[in-house]
Structure 1
Amino acid sequence: MSVIKVAILGFGTVGEGVYRTIHSHAEELQTVLGKKVEVAAILIQNKQKERDIAEDVLITSDFDEILKLQELDVVVEAIVGKEPAFSFLKKAIEKGCHIVTANKEMFAHHGKELQILAEEHNVSIGFEATVAGGIPIIQTIRQLLKINRVHQIQGILNGTSNFILTEMREKKQSFAEALLLAQVNGFAEADPTNDVEGFDAFFKTMILSRIAFGDEPVWNDVELEGITSISNELIEAAENYGLRFKHIARISKEDGQIKAIIKPALVDQSHPFYHVEGVQNAVNVHSNIVGDITLQGPGAGMFPTASAAIEDLVYVCQNAPSQKSLDKSSAFKIEEKKKEVKEYWLVHGVKDKLLHPGITWIDQTSSGTYIIKAEKKDVEHLALQQKPLCYFSILGNSEMINKQSLAI
């Protein structure tokens, strides 16, 4: 074929961004792929709405019309929700099309099935746009896995939550005020549940897990918590120690098991996420040879996400279909059980400073709020004893804690 024919499913922010980028970067795409890329069809919901789309493009709300096209090479999916996106992509694969998706919820639920189906039909799947917007983290991990083996991934994967926490700290806004500003600016949906309760970051973490470890944790075992519990009082207490709240997804493989934690944490100035502000995303990968790599960039928006989808378009057209992206053979096996270690924590809501052999009380930041050093199990035990106590791990080398700590 001398032309690569593309269909775009959905013409919202991402879908329109993909369409506009294909047109604005037509020469670059032809140079890289050796063929012209043309948008043959676009699937939309409302055919009456005016859109700036070329007249020779099929505009339809019926996916079957797209499937009937004789020449169709790649389907780019930018629809919200598991269905009908999953059903559409299955049919596209069965037709023999490569697919590119930006749909993290759908791919977290059905990525394995789509990968198996793609291998059966000798086509490729691109899904860089499902995680961290314009940050090429999936391709980076794929490159690392050729020789390196990943130990742990940490990520700020939701720009809305990061924006809210930044506004609360910098402008002393309440959670409700910062959320409203995020909605006004288009960073948060009218229903922000997926963002502020951590579900969006959860879906992205499951996708990263399959790339890094070839499998994912049991979903019900994942520690998942959003940012709705973070108050101005907590942010101020953390600032006294130069600490900042971030909503961080952490995933690792220990003792043969994949473990994931997706919840607010505190970072000090030594941590690579300390200066990640606003709607920015960041991902830190720790592997056995290269050590730590951190990628940072815009996590959402028309062109950052479209950029990832376009790179995937090039990827699926250039690469052999049977990729090892979801193959368990790439998982890094850790046979030695990781020992529990004492960490620094900020605990809030303490009623009684109980004597506990596993807990060192470092400092009291405000009424009922303390810095402690303890193993996780001891912090969890304290929280059970003194409900509704909340606690947050402190990530980094914590040198400032050592310098500022006071005997209590």
Structure 2
Amino acid sequence: MTVKVAILGFGTVGEGVYRTIQSHERELEALLGKKVEVAAVLIQNKQKERNIAKEVLITTDFNELINLSQLDIVVDAIVGKDPAFNYLKQAIERGCHIITANKEMFAHHGKELLALAGEHQVSVGFEATVAGGIPIIQTLRQLLKVNRVGQIQGIVNGTSNFILTEMREKKQSFADALKLAQERGFAEADPTNDVEGFDAFYKLMVLSRVAFGNEPDWKDVERVGITSITSELIEAADQFGFRFKHVVSIQKEGDKLIGSVRPVLIRKSHPFYHVEGVENALNVYSDIVGRITLQGPGAGMFPTASAVIEDLVYVSQSNHDKKLEAYSVTEAIPSSNGSFNDFWLISGLSKTELSPSIPLVEQLSDQTFIVETTKEEILRKAKEYSSLSYYPILDGTQTFQNKKECITVSI
């Protein structure tokens, strides 16, 4: 018997999947007891030369692909919501398993695709939608069999992480670091999705559904990009051993899911401190195992192809837990809703504009401070002063020292 696969798109991800199926033919056959063959590839431009075997159908017409006499799995390596969503619906209705690396489409339509797949008794693989080669979806599936997840934090956009790394290590401006990311192929000509946090936002919604069975109201999720971070801010933070990272976070407080996508400051004790360049990392807290961190390549031809191939094995095997195919509401670890003080780096105010309700811990420059206060107070001040930029300092222990005293802060 043979597993017949169709690949939608032959860019970086699509080509990586094709080449991996070719190079790991024996391993896949030994694992599945069947040969895995690429039966068709959907492309946009027939004139472009591609290194694809002659027996593979190469077409610009999805109808030609979906009507093949045998088709078992459809892999979506297209960018954007449409036409990918429509194609995958047709594949499910035909009785094919589907695998997608398309985070924007899956954030918008994943729930519908999973429900439709359940009706047609097929499986959906979406490991590659979140963090490239890091197996976070499979890890969460395994954890959720026993553990209750309390919080997930992650660096899930390699472009933003690369830019912040370059700015700190090479003392570059944001514009220069972005230009280098574009030259190396890490950033698109229009980098908005990456640097303004949309890409990370979509990935956070996928994680939320898997971990908690639901997602927060999209309009309530704080989404802040990295464009406000200057070389001066990075240098000021570096004085105390802090590094800027663009972090997604999701947790359940009472009955409400709280999500954010924003730059934060971390210190050496945090597991994300050494996550540099285009690397991704995810930190999951659950009630039994505690905190675990996964780190690895978050993008690229073969890391993403690895996630797709793992899903290919997953959907091809009949012994996985079908109950975890769809999103189900999970019980979260109880969390307090009360306000409590946090530590923040704030910029854009003079010392006289700080209110008495925002205690000053350290002054780094004329308009840059480390303060201890609640998020509510920070948000009130941000409404009062549009010039204010604020960055939370994540957990760890940091000593702040000024002329008067030494304060040890447990965050």
TM-score by length of 1: 0.96
Whether the 8 Å CA contact 2:115–2:326 is kept in 1: the answer is no
**Number of the residue aligned with 2:88:** 89
Aligned to 1:343: 342
- Residues 134, 357 of structure 1: alpha-carbon distance in 2 compared, 3 angstrom cutoff: same
Kindly indicate whether residue 151 of structure 2 is the aligned counterpart of residue 152 of structure 1: yes
Question: Are residue 127 (structure 1) and residue 126 (structure 2) matched?
Answer: yes
User: Superposition RMSD on alpha carbons, in Å?
Assistant: 1.4
Structure 2 distance, partners of 1:321, 1:372, is: 48
Q: Secondary structure at the match of 2:273?
A: coil
- 3-state DSSP of counterpart to 1:306: helix
User: 1:111/1:129 Cα in 2 relative to 1: closer, same or farther (>3 Å)?
Assistant: same
Q: 1-side partners of 2:325 and 2:350: how far apart?
A: 49
Aligned-pair identity in percent equals: 63
Which whole-Å CA distance do the structure 2 matches of 1:336 and 1:241 have between them? 30
Distance 1:376 1:305, change over 3 A: same
Aligned equivalents of 2:354, 2:110: Cα separation in 1: 49
Q: Give the 3-state SS of the residue equivalent to 1:45 in structure 2.
A: coil
| Residue in 2 that maps onto 1:47 | 46
- Residue 324 of structure 1 deviates from its aligned partner by 2.2
Matches within 5 A, 1:152-231: 152-231=151-230
The corresponding residue for 2:389 is 390
Unaligned runs of 5+ residues in structure 2 are 406-411
* Alpha-carbon distance in 2 for matches of 1:281, 1:247: 10
> SS of the residue aligned with 1:94?
helix
Distance 1:171 1:56, change over 3 A: same
Question: CA offsets per residue over residues 244-295 of structure 1, 9 Å max, x none?
Answer: 0000001001010111010000001111100000000000000011000000
Structure 2 partner of 1:108? 107
Contact 1:119 1:321 in 2 (8 A): no
**8 Å contact from structure 2 (residues 124, 325) kept in 1:** no
Name the amino acid aligned to 2:141: R
Q: SS of the residue aligned with 1:151? A: strand
Residue 381 of structure 1 deviates from its aligned partner by 1.8
Partner of 1:327: 327
SS in 1 for 2:285: strand
Give the 3 Å change call, closer, same or farther, for CA 400–289 of structure 1 in structure 2. same
Are 2:311 and 1:312 aligned? yes
TM-superposition CA deviations, 1:18-73 (whole Å, max 9, x none): 00000000011011111000000000000111100000000000000011111110
> How far apart, in 1, do the equivalents of 2:354 and 2:264 lie?
25
The separation in 1 between residues aligned to 2:146 and 2:321, in whole angstroms, is: 21
Question: After superposition, what is the alpha-carbon deviation per residue over 1:181-201, rounded to whole angstroms, capped at 9, x for unaligned?
Answer: 001100001111100000000
User: Are the counterparts in 2 of residues 361 and 372 from structure 1 also a CA contact under 8 Å?
Assistant: yes
Q: 1:350-369 CA deviation, whole Å, 9 max, x = no partner?
A: 12435645422111011110
Matched positions, count:
404
Question: 1:378 offset after TM fit, Å?
Answer: 1.2
CA distance in 1, matches of 2:349, 2:363: 10
- Secondary structure at the counterpart of residue 381 of structure 1: helix
The answer for the alignment partner of 1:14 in structure 2 is 13
Distance 1:181 1:42 in 2: 32
Matched, 1:297 2:296: yes
Aligned equivalents of 1:52, 1:167: Cα separation in 2: 35
* Runs (5+) with no aligned partner, structure 1: none
TM-score, normalisation: structure 2:
0.96
